[in-house]
Amino acid sequence: MSEKKSPAKKSAAIKKSSAAKTSSIPKVPAPWNLTGHGYIFLYKFSKKFIEQSGNVPDFLSGTFQGGFGAVMLVDYEKSDAGPYGEFLFIPGKFKFNKKRLNNISKIYVSSIASVQNGHANWAIPKELADFKFTKLDDSTEQITITQPAQSKKTSVTKTNSTDTIAEFTIKSGHLHFPVSTKLMPFPLVQKQDDKLFFTNFFGKGRGSLAKIKSIKINGDQFPDISICKPIAVIKVDPFDITFPEAVIQTL
């Protein structure tokens, strides 16, 4: 499991590495309680964008209903699976079993323990990446998400080379307000093999309005939200989330 390094006094950068041995990863069942800081980007994505770029799983194809979508970028300092970074995409609402539900259709994390247990506990399709959170000043942070580069011809990993998945510079304000998913819930449905996983996660924290100063997205590895205008960007610090046990239904 990848562990977060202690902040160095001489540097404002914190790097979470995906370098981890995949053997002997402990099982960490739900519920999970996570604490850190992060950003929520709220959108209303078009049907065309979601159909073309939203990574919608087959079982939800053609059921997009619109509503609020979200991107979350979080530096979890504590969790039941240890510290890790997270970058995820929620397209919006889908009509499923006569309900309007959400789905995490793309997600990267920096810990192999989070990857494996996320699959097992909630069928969340987590992929491994490296995260770097760099505080530029009291209100500005730069976040970079990368993976080891691969040759397009051979799919062989290139030594000492990386592909950038996304890079953000975000500036936050100083006026604070409470944030809670009670006001805007994201009930999830995920599918893995012949099972459906239904999860209602809960999050809360201290929010402040923020602005994306710069953004770069590799559209081959994540929905290219750089071409979409967010309704709001909110920094949440501290950010507390609880992921309960999923309700699992066998098809």
CA distance 59 to 191: 8
Residue 129 in this model has a pLDDT that exceeds 90: yes
Which regions of 6-129 does DSSP assign to beta strands (E)?
A: 13-16, 32-43, 64-66, 69-78, 84-90, 93-96, 99-101, 106-109, 126-128
Q: What is the pLDDT of residues 44-59, one digit of tens each?
A: 999 999 999 999 999 9
Task: Evaluate whether residue 107 is within a structural domain.
Answer: yes
Q: 46 is in which domain, residue-wise?
A: 28-250
- Transcribe 163-178 into DSSP letters: EEEEEEEEEEEEEEEE
What's residue 161's pLDDT? 80
Query: How many separate domains does the chain show?
Result: 1
Residue 103's SS3 state is coil
**Cis peptide leading into 244, omega within 30 of 0?**
no
pTM reported for the whole predicted model: 0.89
Q: Kindly state the helix (H) or strand (E) to which residue 188 belongs, with its residue range.
A: strand 188-192
Task: Evaluate whether residue 136 is within a structural domain.
Answer: yes
Residue 108 in this model has a pLDDT that exceeds 90: yes
CA distance 210 to 56: 28
Task: Evaluate whether residue 8 is within a structural domain.
Answer: no
CATH classification of the domain holding 186: 2.40.400.10
Cβ neighbours, 10 Å, residue 244: 15
Task: Evaluate whether residue 128 is within a structural domain.
Answer: yes
